[in-house]
Structure 1
Amino acid sequence: MIVQVIAAVLLAATPVHADAKVTWTVQPADGSRWIERTLDPGQKVTEKLAVRNLGTTDTVFALSAADGYLTGQGHFNMLSSDKKSVDGGTWITVQPSVAVPAGQTRVVPFTITAPAGATPGDHPAGIAASVLSSSGTVQVESRVGFRVMLRASGTVRAALAAQRVTVHYERSWNPLRSGTVHVTYTVANTGNVRADARASVSVAELFGAHHRDGGAAAGELLPGGTRPADGRVHGVWGLGPVHAKILLSPADPAGPADVTVWVVPWPQLFAVALLVALVLVLRARRRRFARLLEEARRESRKDRHQ
């Protein structure tokens, strides 16, 4: 069995320890953190990577390229060796391995070839150097790599959309206090280039008062990527229709997502009902008191005439 340990794909300069004797880094040969290239369909370019052996033993490192993606926490990663790449990872050709003496660095060229039919936009990938080590009967693959952000030339479009939107009103049962509108949704990158997404939620209610939260960064999204998000807007009374609007940047070409919910102001209705009941009780008591007082007066007049 082979268990894969994926480490420091984003921060290529971070050393990885496969065991006590093997420690290494891999990064672009020019010292940058990752490679970004825009290519025309069919174009081929050559780049270089550097593998540095920080350990005390000579080591052969396996080299590989694969499609890149973002984890649920927003960290860049690349497909594991048991999964087949279908996008940017297939554009890269690199030799299968490199032997690096202890304490030395080896520079390895690799090529990037954009397919003739490459669609415009981003095609993220990554390159990694890995070693196998044993842990009992289990083979552990440890690897470190860096991003290769590839873009095919042509018309690019940055666009986000809010999907699966739900709106929930969190009321305060104190009729003199307003509530909070909680909006949950999924931010989807519907464009063909990566986007640093920002989102905010605005709310309009019956009296036309508008509220807006401070806005928050949803983080980086690759084309086709999604990420759950939510927003809370405080100070909303919820007296009937409540309109929630999600504002995204880059903007959705179809316009912002707009959802309307009807909120029944139960605390205020209960307060009004209690007030009406109290007024009716007071009126009834007042009428009863007036009736008793009138009866007492009549009895008093009868006694005087007898």
Structure 2
Amino acid sequence: MSKEVQMVSSGVAMSAAGRRMDRLRRSVLGLSALLLALAGGTGVSHADAKDPGEIRFSVTTATPDGPDKRRIFDFVAEPGAQIQDQVAVSNHGAGPVTFTMVTNDGLFTPMGKFDIRTSDQEPQDSGGWFEVQPTVDVPAGETVIVPFTITVPENATPGDHPAGIVATVTSASTAAGPGVGVESRVGVRVNLRVPGEVTPSLALTDVRATYEPSWNPFAPGSVRVAYGVTNDGNLRVGAEQQANVSGPFGLGDSTIDRGTEGIEELIPGTSRTTAFAVAGIWPVGPVTTEITVTPVPVSTGGAVDVPIEAPLEPVTVAVTTWAIPWVQILLLAAAAVLVIGLRDNRKRKKQRLEALLAKARAEGRAAAGTEDVDQGKSGATAPVATAPATSPAGTAGRDDASAGADAPSSGA
């Protein structure tokens, strides 16, 4: 079974509106998702009552005698050379179908799936080096061999030039509304390498590291790492990735070997972003994250595997982020507030107790002073009450005096 690429996109069927509807159709096609499977597949297009039925078809590599067992087209050609080959277009439906043959440059979707430029985009590279008949009529249940020719320009640059050749058919779709159709596209990937000075090279872009604390103050957090990888060389390569995260003085050093995860293949001039988390990182201040990517050869199972003799140089970028222990700080702050509150509460209780004791002492002293005053008043009146009493001696004196005063009278 040959290596096929399959894609389905929505388009707007032509109507009497002419150019306006044509522009609308191209816009819808440009925004459609084109899925290119690297394994063999079959295109399916559901037709309405005016069509003969469900359209099912496939496109495979082929010899002049029929489909062969190649998975993809894999060519190596010098500048100025010509390559002749063929694809087999098979109609698995119940009625005849006229397919449109399209070639264009290869690319990868953000999800890492091989794709080609949409039909409304002009080829910028090897997608424009093909010569193939514009349409092919395939009867129901039949297979037609379609030859094509690739002419490598004299000024073609060394390196990889991916492309694809597809068969397309547009059928009406009542589900999408009047005048709207579905374009089904099935094709085969083409790998074309031009010999010469090749450079397998990768670049790291927009490297970011963010610390994500754990809400458990007694558990470590993690560092979220994101970066872009750009193939700035001229060969398709994968990206071997390694990340090292460590705190001050190497505290919590952790190394993650990701292999080619997320970037199994990157064609020249394209970029892809990836992200992952490194767990077990304690918030101890500045954390250094070091990302290293190394280009590695890739194989898509083609008939020709060209070894890469150029050196595969790694590239490293380091960034620093601050791992601040916010959760622990909040916990300490809460503990400090609790301690201060308890201390202030004890202080207030002590102050209230001392105030009560002072009040009690003051009341005691006031009560004791009142008793002393009362006792003092009672001691002062006793002598006054006894002072007028006539002592015997005083009375006798006064009587003597009286007697003395009367005596002369008696003598006279």
Q: Same fold (TM over 0.5)?
A: yes
Equivalent-residue separation in structure 1 for 2:156 and 2:313 (angstroms): 24
- Aligned pair in 2 of structure 1 residues 273, 13: CA closer, same or farther (>3 Å)? closer
Partner of 2:187: 145
How far did 1:187 drift? 2.0
Partner of 2:238, secondary structure, is strand
User: Where does structure 1 lack aligned partners over 5 or more consecutive residues?
Assistant: 290-306
How far did 1:66 drift? 0.8
Q: Which has the larger radius of gyration?
A: 2
Equivalent-residue separation in structure 2 for 1:102 and 1:152 (angstroms): 39
Partner of 2:262: 218
Counting only pairs closer than 5 Å after superposition, residues 1-306 of structure 1 correspond to structure 2 as: 1-2=12-13, 4=29, 9-11=36-38, 13-18=40-45, 19=47, 20-29=53-62, 30-135=68-173, 136-208=178-250, 209-215=252-258, 217-219=261-263, 220-250=265-295, 253=313, 255-269=315-329
The letter of the residue matching 1:212 is: T
Partner of 1:61, secondary structure, is strand
CA contact 1:44–1:112 (8 Å) conserved in 2: yes
Equivalent-residue separation in structure 2 for 1:212 and 1:196 (angstroms): 20
Structure with bigger helix share is 2
Equivalent-residue separation in structure 2 for 1:6 and 1:173 (angstroms): 40
- Aligned pair in 2 of structure 1 residues 269, 141: CA closer, same or farther (>3 Å)? closer
How far did 1:275 drift? 7.4
Equivalent-residue separation in structure 2 for 1:244 and 1:12 (angstroms): 38
Structure with larger RCO (C-alpha < 8 A, sep 6+) = 1
- Aligned pair in 2 of structure 1 residues 278, 139: CA closer, same or farther (>3 Å)? closer
Number of equivalent positions: 291
CA contact 1:8–1:144 (8 Å) conserved in 2: no
Partner of 2:8: none
How far did 1:198 drift? 3.4
CA contact 1:53–1:100 (8 Å) conserved in 2: yes
Partner of 1:128, secondary structure, is strand
User: Where does structure 2 lack aligned partners over 5 or more consecutive residues?
Assistant: 1-11, 14-24, 48-52, 63-67, 297-311, 351-412
CA offsets, 1:232-290, max 9 Å, x none?
Answer: 111111312211011223288573110012333344455667778899999998xxx9x
Equivalent-residue separation in structure 2 for 1:212 and 1:194 (angstroms): 27
Equivalent-residue separation in structure 2 for 1:12 and 1:203 (angstroms): 38
Give the TM-score normalised by structure 2.
Answer: 0.62
Partner of 2:197, secondary structure, is coil
Partner of 1:89, secondary structure, is helix
How far did 1:173 drift? 4.6
CA contact 1:6–1:143 (8 Å) conserved in 2: no
- Aligned pair in 2 of structure 1 residues 22, 266: CA closer, same or farther (>3 Å)? closer
Give the share of equivalent positions with the same residue, in percent: 40
